[in-house]
Amino acid sequence: MVGYDPGVQGAPLSPKEAAFAGSAAGMVTRALISPFDVIKIRFQLQIERVSSKTPQGKYYGIFQATRCIHLEEGLSAFWKGHIPAQLLSICYGAVQFASFEFLTELVHQKMLYDSQTAGVHFVCGGLAACSATVVCQPLDTLRTRFAAQGEPKVYRNLRHAVSTMWRSEGTLTFYRGLSPTLMAVFPYAGLQFFFYNIFKKLLAPQPEAGNSGGNLKSLVCGSGAGMISKTITYPFDLFKKRLQVGGFEAARAHFGQVRSYRGLLDCMVQIAKEEGFRGFFKGLSPSLVKAALSTGFTFFWYEFFVNAMHNFKEKRGTNVIAKDFNRR
């Protein structure tokens, strides 16, 4: 089970072990879901309506966008910005899960609440995600810039992107969109852990002690939790993406219309006026697919690696005991 569980036999998960499992889960998951992320970002940044019935912009459907990107930019385009994205996933996964395990253990030790309740997981999950977001926001901005640029490329590589943005836009540009990100990430991550906790208990009311459950149930529960939480908090993700490409308008001119926003409130007002209520949910379809796969695989691989470390420690402990017994 994710989070500190006093009922599990053996030593609790250390922060280093949680960070390792979280970073490994993030790395594997990112490689698998990158194409959906690129399509989602392209949809989010398009001003024109995304609709296959009345196509107005460059992209108007998942399959059409996939074909268009593949024909114009090649297969590698679906992994644009993959290096900063991988760094983001590894860093984010490490900080988030290490913080979550620490916070749930703190709740158990210092408070009267049960560390395995859904409510505690909601609060601890939200706080852990906020910590990870503040640490990793520059990498997220770089990832968005790489995924958003077409051909010819504005940024040749990660080093060129960092130096160019630093010189032309200043240090704060790496934290563009941080406000809507924090507003969205607390409920989003909190709801992920909340629903994952509920679904795991519904599917496995009495899990075996010491079994972290890195199996199909983790994948199914994580996918369901990801889709529900993403739908509820999606508009804030769209605001973040629009703000992150501020000052990057020239590179996006051939994709269609571009807009500049003075801040979060101005971004919300302009989208509401020009694109209507549906504008807040542009790219939701690929985002839900991505959220289901991303959250499902993240929890699946996290529990898989935690379980592997637990079994390794258990086996090593058994071998040590056997050696001591033989010596005697």
More confident residue, 206 or 223: 223
Per-residue H/E/C for 211-260 = CCCCCHHHHHHHHHHHHHHHHHHHHHHHHHHHHHCCCCHHHHHHHCCCCC
- pLDDT tens string 75-94: 988 887 778 778 889 999 99
- pLDDT tens string 8-61: 766 778 888 999 999 999 999 988 888 888 888 888 778 787 777 777 788 888
CB neighbours of residue 115 within 10 Å: 20
Could you give the CA distance from residue 244 to residue 236 in angstroms, rounded to a whole number? 12
122 has a pLDDT exceeding 70:
yes
Residue labelled with tokens 């807009």: 259
What would the mean pLDDT of 263-280 be, rounded to a whole number? Answer: 90
Residues near 95 by beta carbon (within 8 Å), at least 6 away in sequence: 19, 22, 128, 131, 132, 135, 136
Whether 244 is in a domain gets the answer yes
Whether 69 is in a domain gets the answer yes
Whether 278 is in a domain gets the answer yes
The helix (run of H) or strand (run of E) holding residue 190 is: helix 178-203
What share of the chain has pLDDT > 90, as a percent?
Answer: 32
169 has a pLDDT exceeding 80:
yes
Whether 316 is in a domain gets the answer no
Whether 328 is in a domain gets the answer no
What would the mean pLDDT of 228-253 be, rounded to a whole number? Answer: 79
322 has a pLDDT exceeding 60:
no
Instruction: Please provide the average confidence, as pLDDT, over all residues in the chain.
Output: 84
Can you state the percent helix, strand and coil of the chain, rounding each to 5?
A: 75, 0, 25
CB neighbours of residue 182 within 10 Å: 17
- pLDDT tens string 274-294: 888 888 988 888 889 889 999
Task: Count CA atoms within 13 Å of residue 16 on its CB side.
Answer: 0
Give me the number of domains the chain comprises: 1
Give whole-number Cα distances, 325 to 33, 134, 193, 200, in Å: 49, 50, 43, 40
The CATH number of residue 163's host domain is: 1.50.40.10
Whether 318 is in a domain gets the answer no
Whether 216 is in a domain gets the answer no
Quote the domain boundaries for residue 161: 16-203+223-311
How high is the pLDDT of residue 208?
Answer: 46
Least-confidence region, from 17-26, 67-76, 124-133, 169-178 = 169-178
- pLDDT tens string 224-238: 999 999 998 899 888
Whether 229 is in a domain gets the answer yes
At residue 150, the 3 state secondary structure works out as coil
Contact 183, 274 (CB under 8 A): no
Contact 264, 240 (CB under 8 A): no
DSSP-H helix ranges across 78-157: 82-110, 118-148
More confident residue, 144 or 325: 144
